[in-house]
A = this chain, B = another copy of it.
Amino acid sequence: MPTDRPPMRADARRNRERVMRAALEAFAADGRLVPLDEIARRAGVGAGTVYRNFATKEALFEAVVSDRVRAMVDEARALGAADDPGAAFYDFLARVVEAAMVNHALCEALMEQGAGALEGECMDAAFTDALDVLLRRAIEAGDVRGDVDVHEVRTLMNGCMAMERFRRAAVPPRRITALALDALRPRQDVTKQGNETEVSRKDGACEICDRPLNTSRTGRPARYCGPACRQKAHRRRTRA
C-alpha cells in the first residue's frame, strides 16, 4: 500500500532538512532556550516555514532528538549480538554520553521523565528496551553487577551526561564517566580494572584539556597537546 501523500517536493525537502540541521545545531548548543526565530534565521527561512514543517517549537525539538535517539537505538540493537556483551554494553553507554557532550538537546531529552520530548515517538521506551537487552546480556556474561536494573542504568547514564556537561575544568572529558560506569562492574572483578585502562582515546584529543591534537602520521601517537598537559598528567599519575 503506497502512502497517500505524494513525495515531498525537492525544495521543500531541502528546506525541511535545512531547518532540522539548523535546529540540531542550535538546540545542541543551547537546548530549548534558543529562540525559534534564531533557528529560522540560521536555516535561512522564515518562521512560517518552520511552522509548516513542525506544529510547535517543541515538536521540532522532538523531531530533532527523536531522530538522534532512533539512530542510537539502532546502534544498540546492532550491538545486541556482539561477541563481547560487556564491551558492547559499556561502549554503548560511552557513545551515548559522548553524543550528549556535544548535544545539549540530546542530553535534555534523555534525562526527561514522563511526557518528555521522546514520548511522542516512543523513543524513550525504545531506548530503554534496547539498553535493557544489552544490560541483561552483560549481566549474564558477568561483566555487570547483577543487582542493577535498566532504570538504574539510565539514571546513572543521566548522571554521566550531566557530569560531562558540568565537569570541572580540571577533569578531562570521559574520565569521570569511566569512573562512574565502573560502579556497575561486579565487585570481585578486580582483574580487569576497567576504569584506568578503559579510557581509550577514541579521537585525537588531549587527554587532559581535550583540545585537538596535532597528529603526526609517524611515530608514537601523541596523547597530550603539549608539555604543560603532559606534566599535569604526570602529576595526576603520581599524586596518590
Contact = CB atoms under 8 A, between A and B. Distances in A.
A146 interface: yes
Given A187-B190, A187-B193, A239-B147, A156 B172 contact: no
A178 B195 contact: yes
Interface string A176-197: 1011111101011111111110
A195 B207 contact: no
Contacts of A151: 168-171
Interface string A148-165: 110110111011111100
Number of copies: 4
Given A147-B239, A188-B192, A159 B180 contact: yes
Chain B CB count within 10 A is highest, among A112, A148, A154, A166, for A166
Contacts of A113: 166-169
Nearest to A161: B162
A137 interface: no
24 contacts: A90-B198, A111-B162, A111-B166, A149-B170, A152-B171, A152-B179, A155-B176, A156-B163, A156-B179, A158-B162, A159-B160, A159-B176, A161-B162, A162-B162, A172-B209, A173-B205, A178-B198, A178-B199, A182-B183, A182-B195, A183-B183, A187-B190, A187-B193, A189-B189
Interface of A: 90, 94, 98, 111-114, 139, 145-149, 151-152, 154-156, 158-163, 166-176, 178-183, 185, 187-196, 198-199, 202, 205-210, 236-237, 239-240
